[in-house]
């Protein structure tokens, strides 16, 4: 089908806004299938007699399986569409989380949790592919900011439900919160259309890619094989640098998401604090995501790298402040909020770069490859933080790791002029 440009009518504007809202609604509950793990760590360690290094390794394997799934599912969304994949991921993740809740040893925990990483990977890139079909370049920073806001808000939902469920035991952390993902998946299936043409509108004109050789010369109807999609994406040097940068950014993000609950709630190494203080982190992340998307469109005029660099250097500074913070300080909540705000905010800029550097037709492939790097690095961070915590007997170590990772991610983005 030939894609054509159309002046947005009120009906089309309502339809694409509704699509964004429902995609966000579904992803709002995706993290209930993987971010309750941090709250379960102290309880699992006590009941199953597993070290923090072993539990960190479980998180690493899940994230690496998630990374592998992203690399595959992104190009599958480009080829087959995203609707079936996103719903299938929701259903499979629910079943695997419930399976984890019956674990009585390391193997029973590790295997289904690893498979859950593959199921969870069926959500983000297909959703990004659908949004790229409905929204053009001039809106994309804000749109991906809202999509990332939904992901950040998903962390708030996961944290909030975990605070409520944790007193009933760690097994219920893998049963009750993830049930919301089924609701999101059902609504998504019933409402969302993958392309404007599926809803009776003209499709938008494709983006002209900024960094892929010869991609702009493709015929509209030309089919690309999986090999072609990967080859074209991997020839784009700015895109590859962006992939390395988001790797360090996501290492910092997941180090915070998994280990801050351990730091706040208390591990076998430290005394517990108020669990609700931990909510400052995901709330800051959610607000940062939508703020950074708006800034990259309106203030920086589409210069995604500038916004990413500023946010990550600020995140590095706030993480260092968290590392030096004295236990029990009243600065804990505001600093957690600001750290989350600046660590997660840049994600909207990274996702907007995928269709802008590679073109709309490779948006799913690019998102999948970039997320592969993001979670490959995040997995390394989980075992690293767990091991360092076992060695130092201090959960504050996580903030030093985050400080270094954010500085590295910001430095790499200096070489991406977009």
Q: Where are the beta strands (DSSP E) in 23-133?
A: none
Place of tokens 């609707």: 83
Mean pLDDT across 94-104? 95
Look at residue 26 and tell me whether its pLDDT is greater than 80: yes
How far is Cα 318 from Cα 337, in angstroms, rounded to an integer? 10
Q: Please work out, in degrees rounded to the nearest 5, the angle formed at the alpha carbon of residue 193 by the alpha carbons of 83 and 95.
A: 30
DSSP summary character for residue 198: G
How far is Cα 88 from Cα 97, in angstroms, rounded to an integer? 14
Look at residue 6 and tell me whether its pLDDT is greater than 60: no
| CATH of the domain spanning 15-195+228-413, picked from 3.40.50.10190, 3.40.50.300, 3.10.20.30, 1.20.1250.20 | 1.20.1250.20
Tokens in use for 8?
């947005």
How far is Cα 148 from Cα 348, in angstroms, rounded to an integer? 6
Which tens digit of pLDDT belongs to each residue from 223-242? 677 788 888 888 999 999 99
Q: What does each C-alpha distance from 317 to 373, 395, 403 come to in angstroms?
A: 24, 18, 7
Nearest-10 Cα torsion for 185, 186, 192, 193: 100
Q: Residue 224: how many CB atoms within 10 A of its CB?
A: 18
All structural domains of the chain with their residue ranges: 15-195+228-413
Closest of 364, 363, 367, 361 to residue 3, by C-alpha: 361
What pLDDT was estimated at residue 373? 92
At residue 404 the predicted structure's pLDDT band, cuts being 50, 70 and 90, is very high
At residue 41 the predicted structure's pLDDT band, cuts being 50, 70 and 90, is confident
What pLDDT was estimated at residue 271? 41
DSSP summary character for residue 213: T
Tokens in use for 109?
């925990």
């Amino acid at each position: 089908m030939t894609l054509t440009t159309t002046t947005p009518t009120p009906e089309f504007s309502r339809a694409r806004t509704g699509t964004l809202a429902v995609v966000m609604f579904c992803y709002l509950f995706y993290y209930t299938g993987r971010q309750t793990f941090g709250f379960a760590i102290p309880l699992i360690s006590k009941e199953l007699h597993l070290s923090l290094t072993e539990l960190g390794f479980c998180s690493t394997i899940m994230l690496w399986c998630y990374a592998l799934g992203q690399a595959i599912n992104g190009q599958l969304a480009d080829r087959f569409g995203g609707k079936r994949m996103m719903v299938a991921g929701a259903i499979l993740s629910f079943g695997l989380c419930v399976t984890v809740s019956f674990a009585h040893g390391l193997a029973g925990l590790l295997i289904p949790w690893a498979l859950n990483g593959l199921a969870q990977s069926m959500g983000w890139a297909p959703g990004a592919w659908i949004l790229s079909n409905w929204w053009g370049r001039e809106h994309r920073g804000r749109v991906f900011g809202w999509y990332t806001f939904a992901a950040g808000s998903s962390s708030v939902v996961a944290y909030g439900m975990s605070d409520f469920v944790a007193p009933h035991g760690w097994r219920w952390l893998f049963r009750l919160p993830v049930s919301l993902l089924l609701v999101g998946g059902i609504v998504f299936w019933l409402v969302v259309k993958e392309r404007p043409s599926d809803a009776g509108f003209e499709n938008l004109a494709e983006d002209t890619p900024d960094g892929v050789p010869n991609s702009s010369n493709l015929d509209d109807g030309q089919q690309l094989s999986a090999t072609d999609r990967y080859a074209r994406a991997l020839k784009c040097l700015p895109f590859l640098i962006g992939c390395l940068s988001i790797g360090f950014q996501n290492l910092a993000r997941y180090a915070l998401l998994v280990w801050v609950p351990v730091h706040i709630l208390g591990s076998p190494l430290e005394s517990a604090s108020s669990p609700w203080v931990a909510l400052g982190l995901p709330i800051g992340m959610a607000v940062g995501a939508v703020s950074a998307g708006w800034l990259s469109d309106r203030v920086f005029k589409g210069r995604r790298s500038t916004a990413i660099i500023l946010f990550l250097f600020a995140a590095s500074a706030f993480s260092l402040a968290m590392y030096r913070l004295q236990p029990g300080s009243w600065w804990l909540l505001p600093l957690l909020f600001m750290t989350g705000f600046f660590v997660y905010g840049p994600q909207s800029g990274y996702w907007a770069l995928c269709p802008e550097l590679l073109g709309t037709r490779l948006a799913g492939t690019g998102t999948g490859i970039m997320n592969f790097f993001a979670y490959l690095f995040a997995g390394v961070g989980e075992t690293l933080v767990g091991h360092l915590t076992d060695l130092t007997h201090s959960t504050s170590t996580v903030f030093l790791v985050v400080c270094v990772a954010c500085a590295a991610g910001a430095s790499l983005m200096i070489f991406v002029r977009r």
